[in-house]
Structures are given as C-alpha cells and as structure tokens.
C-alpha cells in the first residue's frame, strides 16, 4: 500500500474507511491515556477525520500527517475552518488554531517536527498497511517518539483468507511483536462489529473484531 494507492482512493472517492462522526472509541477510551490539558496529540494518516476536530474542541494541540491533498483540503472546507498554508521540506503544512496537518509522506517525518508530542492516536493508520509496511511504520513511530509517549490504537481482526485488505487484520500478537520492546500493551475493548459492516459481509466475512489498545512506556 504505497502512498500513491491512498492518494488514488481519495481521487476516486473510494473512502469507505472515513467515518462521518467522531469515533465512539475515542470518546469512550481517550481518558485511559490520562492526557494533560496541554497535551499535544499526533494523528497519523488522518484523512479528513472528525476526530481531529474533537481533539481541538477539548483544548488539545494536534499535529497530523496525511498523504492526500484532497483529504486535507476537504477537512478544512467541510468544517469551515480557515487555514494558513506553508511549506516545510517535502511537506505542505496546513495550520489553523490548535491544528497542524503535514501533507506528505509519513516516512519522511523527522523527530524535531514532533518534539513535544505527548500522545498518539492511531485509528486507521496501522491497519491500512500490509505486514512489511506495518513493521516499517512501527519502527518509524518508535524513532519519532523516543520519550514517554502513550498511544491509543484501534485494530481489526478477521480471517484474511476470506478477504484481502485493506484494512488489514491485526491480532494482539502482531501488535505485541511490533511494539513490545518499547511499550506496555493493554487491550481495553473488543467487539465483533460485522453486523454493522455490510460491505465486509458482502466480501465474505462472518466476523470482524474491533479492538482498542492502550500502549504506554514501561
């Protein structure tokens, strides 16, 4: 799943992964990270997620990364938010009150660009990548945030012999293999959501477990 794949999905309006509401898991489980009032949140592969707006409304600062210019512009247009546009190396930077979105390649981010991040919210980034890229993604995440940064991670589990991703299946052992040397991993919630997912039932699935994980530095 190279960057061009996701840019094409936005170009073709194939964005079934986008939620038209704030993710309910964010509302229910964000408090588990004990974020301070002045927390600075990083949201990878953010699309045009309304979760960004939720964070800003709570008073947090937010920095996000998204490869698609279409998605970033759509977020600001649909929410009626004015922004300033600048450039930082290979990135276009969209800035508004409390929110900064880097438009470009996640793998080209550098730690100084994210130096005071306190929490990470991964709702749709890791599951968007096949296994080899998941390993590179997690390694990059660890390099970017060597300090005590905690993470809320949403993952999906299903039989990949019945359906090819994306989204890709991630069992707890997969997440442990990616992050165990740097994080303590706790599953906060799991639920079979297949009855609410007709598009995945149509692709042959009879079960899809959505899980919420809390990752903290030991």
What per-residue confidence (pLDDT) applies to 115?
87
Q: Is the pLDDT of residue 18 over 70?
A: no
Residue with the larger pLDDT of the pair 197 and 7: 197
Residue with the larger pLDDT of the pair 15 and 56: 56
Mean pLDDT of 169-181: 96
Domains of the chain: 3-216 (3.40.50.150)
Indicate the average pLDDT of the chain: 92
What per-residue confidence (pLDDT) applies to 146?
85
What per-residue confidence (pLDDT) applies to 17?
57
Q: Distance between CA atoms of 218 and 215, rounded to whole angstroms? A: 9
Q: Is the pLDDT of residue 162 over 70?
A: yes
């Amino acid at each position: 799943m190279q960057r061009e794949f996701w840019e094409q999905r936005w170009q073709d309006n194939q964005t079934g992964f986008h939620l038209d509401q704030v993710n309910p898991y964010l509302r229910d489980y964000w408090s588990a990270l004990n974020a301070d009032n002045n927390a600075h949140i990083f949201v990878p592969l953010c699309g045009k997620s309304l979760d960004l707006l939720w964070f800003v409304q709570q008073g947090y600062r937010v920095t996000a990364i998204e490869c698609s210019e279409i998605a970033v512009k759509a977020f600001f247009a649909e929410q009626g938010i004015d922004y300033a546009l600048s450039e930082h190396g290979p990135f276009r930077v969209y800035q508004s009150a409390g929110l900064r979105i880097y438009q470009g390649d996640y793998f080209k981010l550098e730690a100084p660009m994210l130096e005071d991040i306190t929490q990470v919210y991964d709702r749709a980034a890791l599951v968007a990548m096949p296994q080899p890229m998941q390993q590179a993604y997690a390694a990059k995440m660890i390099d970017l945030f060597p300090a005590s940064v905690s993470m809320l991670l949403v993952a999906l589990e299903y039989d990949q012999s019945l359906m090819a991703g994306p989204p890709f299946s991630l069992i707890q052992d997969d997440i442990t293999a990616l992050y165990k040397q740097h994080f303590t991993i706790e599953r906060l919630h799991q639920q079979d959501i297949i009855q609410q997912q007709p598009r995945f039932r149509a692709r042959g699935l009879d079960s899809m477990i959505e899980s919420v994980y809390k990752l903290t530095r030991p």
